[in-house]
């Protein structure tokens, strides 16, 4: 994997987390955790893997809200990225992130 691609994935991951926490007005998106971003070879598509605590209905609701806010999020991302074309964002729920959260909660007890 190219160094530039890895670096850009990390920047997108960090900035998406910041945007969801500080710029998006919908409270449901404040509790989303971005676990990983994978860019395709030409940087046109970014698969964004996320997790959110809650029951199945809350998870589906959050996924819908992310899809609805995708345009705003991409626009905000474009303001901080120093690339010509901001990749299309594809949000995917990450079940592994949920397992990690369960393990961490178990360790706290």
What strands, in cross-sheet order, belong to the sheet with 32-39?
32-39, 45-52, 88-93
Spatial contact of 78 and 86, defined as CB atoms under 8 Å apart: yes
pLDDT for the residue 103: 78
Report pLDDT digits (tens) over 79-108.
999 888 999 999 999 877 667 667 777 787
Pick the CATH number of 3-108 from 3.30.465.10, 3.30.300.20, 2.60.40.10, 1.10.3720.10: 3.30.300.20
Q: What's the pLDDT score for residue 2?
A: 87
Backbone angles phi, psi at 9, to 5 degrees: -60, -45
Which residues of the chain are under the pLDDT cut of 50? none
Cα-trace Rg, the chain = 14
51-to-19, 21, 77, 83, 85 alpha-carbon distances in Å: 16, 14, 20, 27, 26
The whole model's pTM is what?
A: 0.84
- Domain ranges for the chain: 3-108
């Amino acid at each position: 994997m190219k160094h530039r691609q890895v670096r850009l994935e990390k920047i997108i991951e960090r900035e998406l987390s910041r945007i969801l926490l500080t710029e998006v007005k919908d409270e449901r998106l404040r509790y989303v955790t971005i676990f990983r971003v994978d860019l395709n070879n030409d940087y046109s598509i970014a698969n964004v893997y996320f997790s959110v605590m809650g029951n199945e209905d809350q998870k589906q609701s959050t996924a819908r809200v992310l899809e609805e806010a995708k345009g705003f999020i991409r626009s905000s991302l474009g303001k901080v990225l120093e690339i010509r074309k901001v990749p299309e964002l594809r949000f995917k729920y990450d079940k592994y992130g949920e397992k990690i959260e369960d393990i961490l909660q178990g360790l706290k007890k």
